[in-house]
């Protein structure tokens, strides 16, 4: 679950072109937040974005799979690997990041008591 300083810096520089992002150490990886929303994570020098039913298909169409913190098929999280070339394409990155933020926002609101 290591994250190299070089990859962390690179990913944050790309994401911060879209919106302010803060990073927090998390179980050997890095949790990424924007506007108080946990919308992404980095693990093993791989970036993952929050998904739900509205954006999961984008990732699957690119052949990307879910984050599996234990490395096996027993458990996966609602975060999918971001295609590597997306970090080099600011327009597409903005679109995908906004969808991840929207998914995180929906998750936050769905969990609140009414």
- Alpha-carbon dihedral angle through residues 13, 17, 21, 24, given to the nearest 10 degrees: -10
Residues in the chain, how many? Answer: 114
CATH of 5-110, one of 3.10.20.310, 3.40.50.1860, 3.90.79.10, 3.30.1460.30: 3.30.1460.30
What pLDDT score does 46 carry?
A: 95
Mean pLDDT of the residues in the chain? 89
Question: Whole-prediction pTM value?
Answer: 0.89
- The terminus-to-terminus CA distance of the chain in angstroms comes to 37
Quick one: the chain helix, strand, coil %, rounded to 5? Answer: 40, 25, 40
Domain ranges of the chain: 5-110
- Using DSSP's 3-state secondary structure scheme, residue 24 falls into strand
Ranges 27-31, 62-66, 95-99: which has the least confidence: 27-31
- Please indicate whether residue 66 or residue 77 has the higher confidence score (pLDDT): 66
Share of the chain above pLDDT 90, in %: 79
């Amino acid at each position: 679950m290591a994250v190299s300083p070089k990859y962390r810096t690179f990913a944050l520089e790309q994401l911060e072109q879209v919106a302010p992002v803060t990073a927090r150490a998390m179980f050997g990886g890095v949790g990424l937040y924007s506007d108080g929303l946990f919308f992404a994570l980095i693990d093993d020098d791989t970036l993952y974005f929050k998904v739900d039913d509205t954006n999961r298909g984008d990732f699957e169409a690119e052949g990307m799979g879910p984050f599996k913190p234990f490395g096996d098929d027993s458990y996966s999280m609602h975060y999918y690997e971001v295609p590597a070339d997306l970090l080099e394409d600011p327009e597409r990155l903005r679109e995908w990041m906004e969808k991840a933020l929207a998914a995180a926002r929906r998750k936050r609101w769905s969990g609140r008591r009414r």
